A and B are shown apart, each in its own frame.
Chain A
Amino acid sequence: MSTAVDPVLVLVLMLNFLVLGTSRLRAAINASALQGAFLGTLVVLVHGGFAVRPIMVGAAAIAIKGIIIPGLLHRALRDVAIRREIEPYVSFVTSLLLCAVATGAAVLFAGHLPLAPEHDGSLLIPASLATVLTGFLILTTRRKAITQVVGYLVLENGIFIMGVSLQEAMPSLVEVGVLLDLVVAIFVIGIVLNHINQEFASQDVDQLDKLKE
């Protein structure tokens, strides 16, 4: 494992705060894209040394998480002509505080986990848990469908970090993680956004409760 892993993870954690703290959707998308790109480099760094397979997986992760999905999101943003997340359920300041608490809790909690010796002291597991919790925070506190997708991406990034920590033991897990991103790209954006737009003329997921039985 390269020594550059922990600095990259710190950047990932900081991007969590940026996604959560900004009200501009464009910035949130860009932050999640940057986070995805960092994860791509993480695959290579964790492996340490030069090998074809991690590089290909990393490149795929960067392409999908860093370029394709954000590109699609930007396009969706242009189509529906919205700029800002207004009136989240929990205010931006409070959600930043919650994120800080979650990050601290993740670090504390990871310390109590019976980890493999090579992960002891590394930021991999705490960063993964913190990112998952941040993703959940975004998903539960924001109203716009696009923010929901961003939240899901962040959540997925957290799972990806967890997968990276198991890369040596189960290489296919990471690759499956990349595939999961493809599902997001195709399914969530293609279908959900379009349909919400057509059926309800609104991008608020609040309106989804009309679908309730």
Chain B
Amino acid sequence: MNEFLLIAAIVLAGLAGVPGLFRAREGHAAERLFVGVITLAGVLAGTGAIGTLAFGSSGALTAAWPVPGGQLAVEVDAISAMFVLQIAVLAVLSAWYGLEYWPQKAHPTNGRKLRAFYGVATAAMLLLVIARNAVLFLVAWEVMALAAFFLFTTEDEKPKVREVGFVYLLAARGGTLCLFAMFALLAAASGTLSMDGWPLALASPLGNAIFIVGLCGFGLKAGIMPLHIWLPGAHANAPSHISALMSGVLIKMGIYGIVRLTASCALPPLWWGYVLIGLGAMSGVLGVGFAIGQHDIKRLLAYHSVENIGIICLGLGVAVLGRSLGRPELVALGIAGALLHVWNHGLFKALLFLSAGSVVHATGTREIDRLGGLWRRMPRTGLAFLVGAVAICGLPPLNGLISELMIYLGLFQTSSEGGGTWLAGALAAPALAIVGALAVACFVKVFGAVFLGEARTVDVEHAHDPGRAMLVPMAVLALACLFIALGAPLVSHVLDTAVTAWAGGSVGTTAPLNALAPLVWVSATSAALLLSLLFLGVRLGAYMSRREFKKEVGTWDCGYAAPTARMQYTSSSFAATLVGLLAWALRPDTHAPHLQGAFPATSTFASHVPDTVLDRGLRPVFSVAARVFMWLRFVQSGNIHLYLLYILGTLVVLLLWR
């Protein structure tokens, strides 16, 4: 039943953008139809997911497929359902947002392409999380990866967009290559291309190789440091609602793969957990470290995706450790924390990207140091961004806290074990704390520089809040963040079913999460905090408006005779200390002037934090490789007959191989 709903949703979503291709370049009809169809698909998929979460899985649905080794096998279990629900919510909300953010009228050349691939990518992601056959999975994976490429390169007339698009394509190809290897190993070890054979394959001697290859393939999509190379550039240069969808769900498909892989392994070796925890801690700390150094608001948010993927990996690592040690409470806290953080990150990161998008929409720039003072001009957008920022920092009263709390509790629980496990927990918990602290610093920087203070440029002066089509999706996301925080004891029932689906009886019965984590207390405290904040705000507002000490002055106007907006802290000056502390990994570029004398001449200062892995590691290697391969260019003579001879030669060699 649920599977049929999902299949209907996949078909609808896949075709949603197609009618628009046949319409004229101008006109609303096609984009409204698109949003309508996507919404319908989202409702169908969401219903299927909720049905599964409420009433349990209805079993696999299979049909024959003439592709060799392929079978049209789909199933919605609790893990799939959680991802389906997230895809549905974010795809619908981003599509609505796009109605005003990327209207056909303003983008006649690429609007139709964007909507067509938007639908295809959504359909492919839905298919991916319910596929139960390796060939079907790979087909969905490839369609998703390629559709995402066209979404990232929506504005392909810009050289920068094409460049980051090719980096993404390279990473996506590399990831798919790893997945082909992984599925080949799985099939070799289990003798079947159905995913039912995974437990058998992972228990075999090939299990470790499968895990490593799979981690590389899925990690490239998820953006685990140091495999995140494509992520910052691609997210920064895509339209904001695409960034929201891609950061919210596309990179989670990598996480889905790792979750599915680890769920199939009955008794994983301990080092799997250590690897996941180590990678998670590294992604977390360095992800937020790179984020602090950025000046581009969307690039900054993209690095925060790397950070949050790290937090999710920490949770997964805890769960895998629990499985190897036979500790049900570790399993429950770890996987529930990871899956809830998948949801949470999807919600608040989409919220942040959408509100950053409306800032970009209103001011035309992504440079944090060109903005400022937007709180007074765009109060609703500012509030949405504030909610997202508080949530992503893991502060009460919002949802980031809940999932991070579960992962913390899981890490603390490892202390009763001896040796390496204790050490892993003892190192990872402080790392998670550092991540939280740095995230707060980073969002204080962004929020302060963008929304508070004075406008730094004239672009900002006429900025104003966007219309309803953009504000409503942001409001829905903000409310969803709040709901998960305040309704955590209810959400935990959903997570319990997902924990059972992941554990699959391998560690005995797990206790319900409400018993493992003080969720009721956290929610109650959050609600109390929220109420007191509201109360305080209302009272303060009333007090301020009653007394006549309202006076229009500039911010930071503390007695200066001629203050200018340039006297404010910039985002780079605010971040300078922290960037300096992390310089061993960030390797910032600073071009500081050499000042001499009492009245030095006019000079300029610039600082920049390039991506260490991509710009300092891979690019030099690739440019050397490109030079080496220039020697092979004589092969390309341009003569068609010679090319055909190459083919013939290859064929003959292959035929005579044995």
Contact = CB atoms under 8 A, between A and B. Distances in A.
B637 A212 contact: yes
Interface stretch (B209-217, B295-303, B579-587, B638-646): B638-646
Nearest to A213: B636
B604 to A, nearest CB: 40
Contacts of B647: 136
Given A140-B641, A205-B640, 15 more contacts: A109-B655, A133-B648, A136-B648, A139-B644, A140-B644, A140-B648, A148-B640, A205-B641, A206-B639, A208-B640, A209-B639, A210-B638, A211-B638, A212-B637, A212-B638
Nearest to B66: A172
A194 interface: no
Contacts, number: 31
A89 interface: yes
Contacts of B645: 140
A26 B648 CA distance: 26
A28 to B, nearest CB: 17
Interface of A: 89, 109, 133, 136, 139-141, 148, 172, 205-206, 208-213
Contacts of A139: 641, 644
Interface of B: 66, 636-641, 644-645, 647-648, 651, 655
A209 B644 CA distance: 14
A26 B66 CA distance: 41
B638 A209 contact: yes
Nearest to B647: A136
Contact of B644 (A136, A211, A213): A136
Contacts of A172: 66
Contacts of A213: 636
A140 B652 CA distance: 15
15 contacts: A89-B641, A136-B644, A136-B647, A136-B648, A136-B651, A139-B641, A140-B648, A148-B640, A172-B66, A205-B641, A209-B637, A209-B639, A209-B640, A211-B638, A212-B638
Contacts of B638: 208-212
Contacts of A211: 638
5 smallest CB-CB distances across A and B, nearest first, come from A212-B638, A209-B638, A136-B648, A139-B644, A140-B644
A132 to B, nearest CB: 8
Contacts of B644: 136, 139-140
Nearest to A209: B638
A136 to B, nearest CB: 5
Contacts of B655: 109
A186 to B, nearest CB: 20
Nearest to B642: A140
Contacts of A210: 638
A212 B648 contact: no
Contacts of B648: 133, 136, 140
Nearest to A151: B644
A152 to B, nearest CB: 10
Nearest to B656: A109
Contacts of A208: 638, 640
B48 to A, nearest CB: 32
B76 to A, nearest CB: 30
A128 B456 CA distance: 74
Point out which of B637, B640, B645 has the most chain A C-beta atoms below 10 A from its C-beta.
Answer: B640
Contacts of B639: 206, 209
Contacts of B637: 209, 212
Nearest to B648: A136
Point out which of A89, A172, A209, A213 has the most chain B C-beta atoms below 10 A from its C-beta.
Answer: A209
Contacts of A109: 655
Contacts of A205: 640-641
A141 B66 contact: no
A165 B641 CA distance: 30
A128 to B, nearest CB: 12
A141 B645 CA distance: 10
Nearest to A148: B640
B636 A141 contact: no
Nearest to A141: B641
A139 B640 CA distance: 9
A126 to B, nearest CB: 13
Point out which of B66, B636, B641, B651 has the most chain A C-beta atoms below 10 A from its C-beta.
Answer: B641
